[in-house]
């Protein structure tokens, strides 16, 4: 599929009119949270309580707050710099950003008045919205400060990314990714720009033979649909939850990149397969689809409620070869009889816990939780899971390691280090999938093969 990237230039929603007071109140309620919540869940709860909001209103407020969250750091730095009347905003930004590690960014941002937030957002993004009336007397002083700060950030290579909402320390990680994926400067810039836009809705047809009927129904509901095998990109239209295909289990919401990981496992009918970190079961169901309900599919997770969700979704879709078990990676999994009889599983998927950096386009608040310490904790956990899983792969079997992250520390570097202590395994292939090549999330997988002896 070819993608149209014309929408990657982020734009500011129009804050004029009756919406602005509501928007300010939403921001104030968000700022009452001592820790930064998961924004999509928090916002869903807030908007459900506002009975007067129609669907277009809810979409507007979600877009506005998601946009704000993407630019949370530069907004905070600009307001702090303005209040202190800082003369060199490049030096100030570098020093202050180093102090604002992890959720400390939220502790600084949550004290900002709504009017100042929307003013700085207007400067950072194109748009025609009027400045908040609360700042009318201050505008002649704020505008020159912004002009100077923008020029100083643009002139400094280390701070230039702030104009796109990026932390100054992320450039090292981005350079490593560019080197690992052989990205040109244009692709790097496209990747940066795209982090501030939301990817489209992707769904997966549960049973490929029903794809034609599913597409026809979605088009009748007003969606524009494009297909990549059983992956459908659906834009426009009504809520996907209103479709009979969704209600009856004929399709699942699953990002394109996530679907590539399921495909990489290569599960076949009649095999014995283990999805070690199954979560809610999106990839588990995709594996069941490829196995056509034949063979054995074991799904494990440390969270019992996730396995319950998986069972509900599988039953709705009609997958009967899935067995769920709790597993916390404290030791190897007790092999089911089907796997024990052949010395292990034919295929194992480790969709490992990770920083989630590849989902920032959908979850912009997650970027402000990222830290060096957090990366170290995740890579340690990933190694432990892989070590416990490895003995369960039969000789000649396949182990697929995957993350929803673009960070090389969790991907190529992690796999290289792990293989140093696993002489029975070899790397068959590895790939970063999704954005920026496809308008989707960004994910990684490595296909590893265990030797026959």
- Give me the pLDDT at residue 60, please: 84
The pLDDT tens digits of the residues spanning 206-217 come to 988 888 999 999
DSSP-derived secondary structure letter, 2? -
The reply to whether 200-254 and 256-450 are identical in fold is no
The pLDDT tens digits of the residues spanning 145-161 come to 999 999 999 999 999 99
CA dihedral 360, 363, 364, 366 (to 10 degrees): -80
The pLDDT tens digits of the residues spanning 261-289 come to 999 999 999 999 999 999 999 999 999 99
- Give me the pLDDT at residue 256, please: 97
Six token digits for residue 307: 């396995």
For residue 37, pLDDT over 70 is answered with yes
- How far apart, in whole angstroms, are the C-alpha atoms of residue 97 and residue 76? 10
Sorting pLDDT into bands at 50, 70 and 90, what band is 2? very low
For residue 326, pLDDT over 60 is answered with yes
For the segment 372-393, the average pLDDT, to the nearest whole number, is: 96
Backbone torsions φ then ψ of 198, nearest 5 degrees: -90, 135
CA dihedral 379, 445, 308, 297 (to 10 degrees): -120
- Give me the pLDDT at residue 11, please: 72
Q: 256-450 maps to which CATH number?
A: 3.40.50.150
Sorting pLDDT into bands at 50, 70 and 90, what band is 327? very high
- Give me the pLDDT at residue 399, please: 98
- Give me the pLDDT at residue 117, please: 93
- The 231-236 sheet, strands edge to edge: 223-228, 231-236, 201-205, 251-253
Closest CA to 449 of 420, 435, 428: 428
Name the 3-class secondary structure at 12: coil
Closest CA to 158 of 146, 173, 170, 176: 170
Domain spanning 200-254: CATH superfamily: Sun protein; domain 3 (3.30.70.1170)
- Give me the pLDDT at residue 102, please: 64
- How far apart, in whole angstroms, are the C-alpha atoms of residue 277 and residue 328? 9
- Give me the pLDDT at residue 15, please: 59
Sorting pLDDT into bands at 50, 70 and 90, what band is 91? very high
State how far the alpha carbon of 367 is from the alpha carbons of 24, 38, 273, 428, 445, in Å.
23, 11, 33, 31, 21
The pLDDT tens digits of the residues spanning 223-233 come to 999 988 889 99
Six token digits for residue 395: 């000789």
The pLDDT tens digits of the residues spanning 392-432 come to 999 999 999 999 999 999 999 999 999 999 999 999 999 99
Name the 3-class secondary structure at 9: coil
Q: Judge if pTM exceeds 0.75.
A: yes
For residue 290, pLDDT over 50 is answered with yes
Name the 3-class secondary structure at 257: helix
Sorting pLDDT into bands at 50, 70 and 90, what band is 1? very low
The pLDDT tens digits of the residues spanning 339-356 come to 999 999 999 999 999 999
How many Cβ atoms are within 10 Å of 57's Cβ, its own excluded? 15
Domain boundaries, the chain: 6-168, 200-254, 256-450
């Amino acid at each position: 599929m070819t993608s149209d990237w014309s929408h990657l230039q982020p734009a500011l929603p129009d804050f004029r009119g009756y919406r602005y007071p509501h928007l300010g109140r939403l921001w104030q309620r968000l700022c009452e949270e001592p820790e930064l919540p998961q924004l999509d869940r928090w916002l869903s709860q807030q908007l459900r309580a506002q009975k007067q909001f129609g669907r277009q209103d809810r979409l507007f407020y979600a877009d506005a707050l998601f946009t704000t969250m993407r630019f949370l750091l530069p907004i905070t730095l600009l307001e702090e710099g303005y209040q202190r009347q800082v003369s060199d905003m490049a030096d100030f930004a570098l020093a202050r950003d180093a102090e604002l590690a992890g959720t400390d960014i939220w502790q600084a941002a949550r004290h900002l008045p709504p009017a100042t937030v929307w003013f700085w957002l207007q400067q950072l993004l194109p748009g025609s919205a009027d400045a908040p009336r609360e700042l009318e007397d201050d505008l002649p002083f704020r505008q020159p400060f912004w002009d100077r700060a923008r020029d100083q950030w643009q002139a400094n290579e280390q701070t230039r990314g702030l104009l796109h909402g990026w932390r100054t320390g992320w450039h090292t990680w981005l350079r490593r990714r560019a080197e690992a994926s052989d990205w040109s400067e244009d692709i790097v810039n496209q990747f940066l720009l795209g982090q501030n836009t939301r990817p489209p809705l992707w769904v997966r047809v549960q049973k490929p033979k029903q794809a034609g009927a599913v597409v026809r129904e979605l088009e009748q509901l007003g969606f524009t649909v494009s297909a990549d095998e059983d992956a459908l990109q659906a834009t426009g239209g009504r809520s996907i939850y209103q479709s009979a295909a969704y209600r009856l289990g004929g399709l699942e919401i699953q990002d394109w990149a996530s679907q590539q990981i399921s495909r990489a496992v290569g599960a076949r009918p009649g095999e014995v397969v283990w999805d070690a970190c199954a979560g809610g079961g999106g990839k588990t169901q995709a594996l069941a689809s490829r196995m056509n309900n034949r063979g054995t599919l074991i799904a494990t997770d440390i969270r019992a409620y996730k396995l319950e969700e998986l069972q509900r979704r599988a039953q709705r879709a009609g997958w009967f070869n899935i067995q769920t078990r709790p597993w916390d990676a404290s030791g190897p999994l007790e092999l089911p009889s089907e796997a024990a009889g052949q010395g292990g599983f034919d295929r194992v998927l480790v969709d490992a816990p990770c920083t989630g950096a590849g989902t920032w386009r959908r979850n912009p608040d997650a970027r402000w939780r990222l830290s060096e310490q957090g990366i170290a904790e995740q890579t340690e956990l990933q190694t432990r899971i892989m070590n416990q899983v490895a003995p369960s792969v039969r000789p000649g079997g396949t182990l697929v390691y995957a993350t929803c992250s673009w960070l090389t520390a969790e991907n190529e570097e992690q796999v290289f280090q792990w293989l140093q202590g696993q002489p029975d395994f070899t790397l068959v292939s590895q790939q970063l999938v999704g954005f920026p090549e496809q308008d989707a999330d960004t994910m990684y997988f490595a296909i590893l093969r265990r030797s026959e002896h």
